[in-house]
Structures are given as structure tokens and as C-alpha cells.
Amino acid sequence: MKKIITLAITTIMVAAWSASAFAADIIVYSARKEHLIKPLFEAYTAETGVKIKYITGKAGALLERIKAEGANTSADLFITVDAGNLWYAAEEGVLAPIKSATLEKNVPSHLRDPQNRWFGLSVRARTIVYNKNKVSPEELSTYEALGDSKWNKRLLLRTSKKVYNQSLVASFIADNGEVETEKVIKSWIANLPVAPFSSDTKALEAVAAGVGDVAIVNTYYFGRLLKKNPELPLAIFWPNQKTNGVHMNASGAGVTANAKNKKEAIKLLEWLSSDKAQGKFAALNLEYPVNPEVKPDPIVAAWGEFKGNPMNVSNYGKFQAEAIKLMDRAGYK
């Protein structure tokens, strides 16, 4: 009888432990690629014992999956690139507002949702890169000035179909209104020697090859390309330093509205914003840490200091529809 009772108690304890272990698992849907998140998740598991399961994919597809799954979704945390995507996910009811003094401390207010439904985790600048053999930095000043006649047949752009450019134009609308922004975009299009490229990397390679002299790209694409080929004649220029500053965007995450493991998801999100994780989170993709207490990777730091636009990045989502329509009217393909 004693053996039976002992066995029963042991069985209950094992079952309880198993249920607890299962409950501790965090499920993440990530539009950030596996090689950029896996090392961090492994570090978190090593530190806490909490297992993280994840799937990766395109932001739009993952968002639609969460919506379709509804209350039955497995996702506890949604990670994606671009503040416009984060804003849209929140507006679609996919993300829940959370209270966290840690996140409010680690993530500056302009890099998180005003309702705390999502938080930036890394920052990238969308800036000007130029060919050092053909352009002097003294010739450059602002994004808007790239529409001047002296840049005729010298400006290269990525397609307007990419959310990064949609967010850039949305920020212009938020700062300057639609009328002025449309003038700028039309002036850019008039200065293109070739059609917009499918990627920032292709635009950068074209600048290096002399197809054009300047391009607007995300900083990490510049970093990746120069890391592979440091001899390329490319350099970064920080525009709008006397006005509103460089366009900044964020990758980030939010706890899903139907999270089964909300407490653990919040803990993971807090950890990702901490000094323990921030350096690695940003360095893996040559981005800037969102946490102001954490220094960027030496490669990124070497690009120099600059003034970023302090606008709340949620504006990129708010004005995204207007930006897409405006780019279409301006002939930006």
C-alpha cells in the first residue's frame, strides 16, 4: 500500500512538473530571420531554463496566421521588422497592451507604441550612402535636396513596394504634410538614371559601380556589404542634421492578445530589451541597440554619431496608406 501511495505521489509530481515545464514554453512568431533570433533564444534558455519555440516567415503572412488562429493561436510573442508592421499588427487587434516598468525604462518612448502594445528592440537608420570617388560629403545636406537638379541621373532608389520606403515617406508626411512630400518624391523620380532596385544591396552595388552616385538605404545593408568588401568606395552621410534628423526605424515585438503564456512572454521581451541582450540583438544585424545604455557594435559605432528624428515611429503606420497613394501618384514604382 505504501509503495502504491509513493508511486501515486511520484506520478502526480512528475505530471505537475511536466505541465509546469510545458506551460513555461514560449511560442514566438518571428518575421526576423532565424539566424538573428536563435542565438538570443538559446542564451535566454541557458540563463532561465525556459524553452522557446519559434516559427519564422514574412511579416504579413505571420500576422494573417495569428488573426486566422484567433483565440486558438499558439503565438505568445510576435516579432517583426519595421514600425509600420508593428503598428498595423496592433491596430488589427493582434497585440495586447502590457504594463512593464522595465520596458518603459529600456525603450525610449518614441520607439514604442504609445499604448504599450509593442516595443522596439533594435534601430536602423535609413540614410544616404554615396560613392566617395564621385561625391564630396560637402555636396550633401538633406533627403529633400536629393531632388535638386545637380543630382539628375545620379540618385538611386529601392522600389516603393518595400515597407522601408513606405515608412520613410510616411515620416515625411508626418513632418511636412502631403503637398510638400509629393514635391520631394516627384523630384527624386525625375533624378533617377534607372528604375528603382528590388533591394538596398543592389542599389548600393550600383552606386559602387558608378550607375549612380548616391542612394537611400538602411544602414545595416551598408554594413553587411562593406564587411564583405571593405574596398568598395562607399560612405555614409547623415542628412537633415540641421532640421529634423535622420529617419530612424525599428524592429520590435509585442505580446499577442491571445497569448497562453503572457507572463513568460513579457519576461522574454524585457530580457530582450536589457543590457544583457541588446548588444547582441543589434550586432547580429549591424543595427543600433534600442536601449540607450548599450553601445553599438564597433563596426556601427565607426559610422559616427548623428541626430536621429525623434518622431514616434508609430507615425509610419498611421501615414502608411497615404504614403503608398502618394508614391503611386508621384510615379514612384
Question: Is 220 known as a binding-site position?
Answer: yes
What does the alpha-carbon distance between residue 96 and residue 32 come to, in Å, rounded to a whole number?
Answer: 20
How much is the pLDDT for 24? 60
- Secondary-structure percent of the chain, ordered helix, strand, coil, rounded to 5: 50, 15, 35
How much is the pLDDT for 164? 97
Residue 78, C-beta contacts closer than 8 angstroms, at least 6 positions apart? 28, 29, 30, 62, 63, 66, 89, 94, 95, 253, 254, 256
CB 4 within 8 A of CB 241: no
* CATH superfamily assigned to domain 2-123+251-296: Periplasmic binding protein-like II (3.40.190.10)
**Where in the chain are the domains?**
2-123+251-296, 124-247+313-329
How much is the pLDDT for 112? 98
| pLDDT tens digits in sequence order for the chain, 333 residues long | 444 433 333 333 333 333 334 446 999 999 999 999 999 999 999 999 999 999 999 999 999 999 999 999 999 999 999 999 999 999 999 999 999 999 999 999 999 999 999 999 999 999 999 999 999 999 999 999 999 999 999 999 999 999 999 999 999 999 999 999 999 999 999 999 999 999 999 999 999 999 999 999 999 999 999 999 999 999 999 999 999 999 999 999 999 999 999 999 999 999 999 999 999 999 999 999 999 999 999 999 999 999 999 999 999 999 999 999 999 999 999
The owner of cell 530580457 is 271
Strand pairing category for 247-255 and 119-131: antiparallel
- Reported pTM: 0.91
Question: Is 221 known as a binding-site position?
Answer: yes
pLDDT tens column, 108-128: 999 999 999 999 999 999 999
DSSP for 161-195, written as a single string:
TSHHHHHHHHHHHHHH-HHHHHHHHHHHHHT-SSP
Q: What is the CATH number of domain 124-247+313-329?
A: 3.40.190.10
**Cell numbers standing for residue 250:** 525599428
**φ/ψ (deg, to 5) at 172:** -65, -45
**Cell numbers standing for residue 289:** 541597440
Per CATH, 2-123+251-296 and 124-247+313-329 having the same topology is answered yes
